[in-house]
Chain A
Amino acid sequence: MNYDKIEQAAARRDRVRRAVTYTLLTLWALIVLFPFYWMLLSSVKSYSAYNGEYVPRFFTLSPTLQNYVDAFTTVNLARYFTNTLLFTAATTAIMMVVIIFAAYAFARLDFPGKNLVFALFLSLMMIPGELVVITNFVTITNWGMRNTFWGLILPSVTSVFYIYLLKENFEQIPEELYKAAKVDGTSDLKYLFKVMLPISQPTVVTIVILKVIECWNSYVWPRLITDDEAYFLVSNGIQEIRENGFGRENIPAMMAAVVVISVPLIVLFLIFHKKIMAGVSRGGTKG
């Protein structure tokens, strides 16, 4: 019965291995989730309760929403929030128009110099944003667009990478469909909006979501281009709140603001997590 023993030992080793694996994964999941839990927890503790705890408690029995009221009344959180919504919506919408037309021209139309222009476009993907920010800052300043929405929006309404992604997608649509549409007398534009875009919808949605995430989190450019609080986005708002917000280091109120800022993207992620992860693994870069 030696054979049985070997099998038992192997099964035991398997169990141990699985236990170790799950422990490791759970540990990392806790490390990932803990900051979110902590911000939520701190945001519902009252100011006095929070500051009275030398050893912070891991739960609270008397949650309060007062901090959320403070976050919206003491600082301009609602303003930052609507600014960011407006900025995100406008930037994404304009970018979609720009890249859809560019991708369409590259994918469906033939014109002399197309390959050369496309190669030049692709080579622009290698340029780090840090190099061009300096001149863009000067350009926008010279145009008198500091502290305006246009100044915030204009430099980020094109993306070579998304043009490339969409073009690849457009090219997969069979040529026959285009010819059939032509025979029926469909105009190019109508074909683009009635046939190509609906077929490419998954890619379009992915691009929109990735751009929305990028806009919502953008910090550097808005910080350079706005110093008037009326045009702050949430990232700048958070810095503003931190440096001269609630006074006396009102951390619970700060955390309430952080929760409000984080929730939209987390909701978006929970709804679209498959799409977002697929999109990022196809071409997101960060980190």
Chain B
Amino acid sequence: MNKNGKAWLYLLPAIAFLGVFMVYPLVDVFVYSFEEGYNSASQTFWGIGLYNYAYVLHDPYFLQAVKNTFLLVIITVPLSTGLALLISVGLNAIKPLRELYQTVFFLPYVTNTLAVGLVFMILFKKTAYSDGLINLLIHFFGGRSVDFIDGPYWAKMLVMCIYTVWVVMPFKILILTSALASVRQDYYNAAKIDGTSRWRTFTRITLPMISPMIFYLVITGFIGAFKAYSDEVAIFGTDLNAAGMNTIVGYVYDMLYGDSGGYPSYASAAALILFAIVLTITVINLMISRKNVQY
């Protein structure tokens, strides 16, 4: 066999799988989203147009999902990035036990988020026989107990945010610690000789030097948080609409499958709306970073 043929043969499996499960679906999702009244049983539809988008945008479940997702993004991305920065700076400042801490901090990354979510649920849940550990703590400090899992909206949102931060921290700490470690010691030595204060050294040397990585984390953080779904399932169960805690991705999957499923057209329209939102936010992020980040 000639060389060209061989190369294509080696590439064939990858191309075949990518073609069937990535390229074709990418085209197809647009097609679905414009086919009005698509019936998945008979595979027929009665028109082409924007009806699916209109339906999704007027669906109260979708609007609730959008609200939840935006709140989650706005709260968790700055919070987790800031906290990760604080912890990474701390990690960078110590020598003994550093590796131990790093290893422990990374642990949530490798665990099954559905399994650990169950533990979070138990810690926060109020049941007939116990108020749950967190509520007892709140009691201890003189507060009033709240049902975080079936209670008021803000309480549920709070648990969701806490768990999300817990889940995303390992990646951020890892990236920021290695970014901090790669800042050249010369700069710090120069600052020391000039008698620069620690705070000034941090804001004028450290932050600018690691700013590309911070922006990388902000961008991936935004994208990741917009796609939140399984962490919510872990805490509130599969019926997220009933809990009022659905996310946009959750809405897509619910439309596709499950009790309210069977509507790939609505699912496609919602997925494309999500994609448009993420793309817009990412472009805005990139534009801001172009102005502020020093490379």
Q: Which residues of A contact B (CB under 8 A)?
A: 17-18, 21-22, 24-25, 28-29, 31-33, 35-36, 38-39, 42, 51-56, 97-99, 101-102, 104-106, 109-112, 114, 117, 121, 124, 127-128, 130-139, 154-155, 157-158, 160, 163, 188, 213, 216-217, 219-220, 223-224, 234-235, 238-239, 242-243, 249, 251, 254-255, 258, 261-262, 265-266, 268-269, 273, 276-277, 280-281, 284-287
Contacts and interface: CB of A to CB of B under 8 A. Distances in A.
Given A134-B29, A238-B112, A242-B118, A102 B13 contact: yes
| A interface: dominant SS | helix
Contact of A137 (B113, B119, B136, B256): B256
Contacts of B284: none
A286 B25 contact: no
B133 interface: yes
Given A32-B166, A128-B275, A286-B171, 7 more contacts: A18-B93, A111-B4, A130-B274, A133-B256, A258-B116, A277-B106, A287-B220
Interface residues of B, number: 90
Interface stretch (B150-158, B184-192, B203-211, B223-231): B223-231
Nearest to A22: B94
Nearest to A27: B87
A238 B114 contact: yes
B18 A42 contact: no
Given A111-B8, A235-B112, A42 B122 contact: yes
A152 to B, nearest CB: 13
19 contacts: A21-B93, A24-B86, A97-B13, A98-B14, A101-B10, A102-B10, A102-B13, A105-B7, A124-B23, A130-B275, A134-B271, A217-B111, A223-B253, A234-B112, A235-B114, A239-B237, A243-B237, A243-B238, A269-B106
B233 interface: yes
